[in-house]
Amino acid sequence: MVPNFDVKGKVFVITGAAGILCSEMARELGELGARVAVLDLNEERAKEVAKEICDKGGDALGLKANVLDKDSLTAARDAVLEKFGTIDVLINGAGGNRPDASTSPDLSFFDMPPEALRFVFDLNLVGAILSSQVFGKVLTDKKEGNIINISSMSALRPLTNVLGYSAAKAAVSNFTAWLAGHFALNYSPNIRVNAIAPGFLLTEQNRFLLKDKETGEMTPRAKHIIGQTPMGRYGTPEELVGAIVFLASDAASFVTGTVLCIDGGFGNFAI
């Protein structure tokens, strides 16, 4: 049997889709013929990303949606259903960190404010759960579909300082396995739930941490990261898309509850 990686015509809902990684996914999925609902707290950017997809001949809709507000998610779901008629894949992309949920020379573990930890837990974990409730209902009603969460390397190997984010992403990996079992057992084995765990990617956002502004040389932090990565380089946002296509397509028809690392070997090998 030839594996079927086709995502053409499938309706993807992507939260946080105005961000660096998920806007890249949205654009590439649009080029592959998927229909894409670009959801983000930042409505203006969501609409811009949708327009870029449409300008290239794709089919996309940009909408404001706050993953921490069920009414906002429900309104977005209704708009997606009105435009596309169905939903096939939910990518829970909204997520991130906050400086005061990480230790630093100015903030010890003992002084970390609980509201910072709650913010990071809410954004990464509760946001993925609420979105899966609202959009997942469409999948359980039609008894098929896919959810893809975004975990992180720091769920697997907690990185120095980032306490809140590491714990929240570990919870996202756990939720992935939980929901995969829950949907398969109670609704349909044709609803799959998986996650990707990106490793270190070089993006505009972290370039200043990883490359010296003047010389372009790797910073000490960058040398340490690359030294721990068997493939000896960073990844790029585009390199996440192959895994998304795999997980969302029939090629992964027996894959559920898993976290797929896209990390050049960082997570599973100590150098």
The catalytic site residues sit at 165
Q: Which residues of 77-96 are buried (b: 16+ CB within 10 A; e: fewer)?
A: bebbeeebeebbbbbbbbbe
Residue 180: exposed, middle, or buried by beta-carbon count in 10 A (0-12, 13-18, 19+)? buried
Binding mask 109-148 for ligand NAD (x = CB under 6 A): --------------x---x---------------------
Beta carbons of 259 and 46 less than 8 angstroms apart: no
Does residue 267 touch ligand NAD according to CB under 6 A? no
User: Which among 2-10, 92-100, 138-146, 173-181 is the span making contact with ligand NAD, rule CB under 6 A?
Assistant: 92-100
Rounded CA-CA distance 33/102 in Å is: 40
- Please pick, from the candidates 21, 89, 91, 243, the single residue that binds ligand NAD as defined by CB under 6 A: 21
Report CA dihedral (105, 108, 114, 116) to the nearest 10 degrees.
Answer: 20
Q: Pick from 13, 36, 38, 40: which binds ligand NAD (CB under 6 A)? A: 40
Say how far apart CA 9 and CA 29 lie, in whole Å: 10
Q: Per-residue x/- mask for ligand NAD, residues 196 to 235, rule CB under 6 A? A: --x--x-x--------------------------------
Q: Of 23, 16, 28, which is closest to residue 248 (Cα–Cα)?
A: 28
Residue 62 contacts ligand NAD per CB under 6 A: no
Decide: is 96 part of the binding site for ligand NAD (CB under 6 A): yes
Q: How far is CA 216 from the centre of its chain?
A: 29
By the rule CB under 6 A, 19 interacts with ligand NAD:
yes
Residue 264 found at the interface with ligand NAD (CB under 6 A): no
Pick between residue 66 and residue 190 the one whose CB is nearest to ligand NAD. Answer: 66
d(CA 97, CA 199): 15
Contact between 152 and ligand NAD per CB under 6 A? yes
Can you tell me which of 59, 66, 75, 228 binds ligand NAD, judged by CB under 6 A?
66
**Phi, psi values for residue 259, rounded to 5°:** -115, 115
Positions in the binding site for ligand NAD (CB under 6 A): 15-16, 18-22, 40-42, 65-68, 93-96, 123, 127, 150, 152, 198, 201, 203
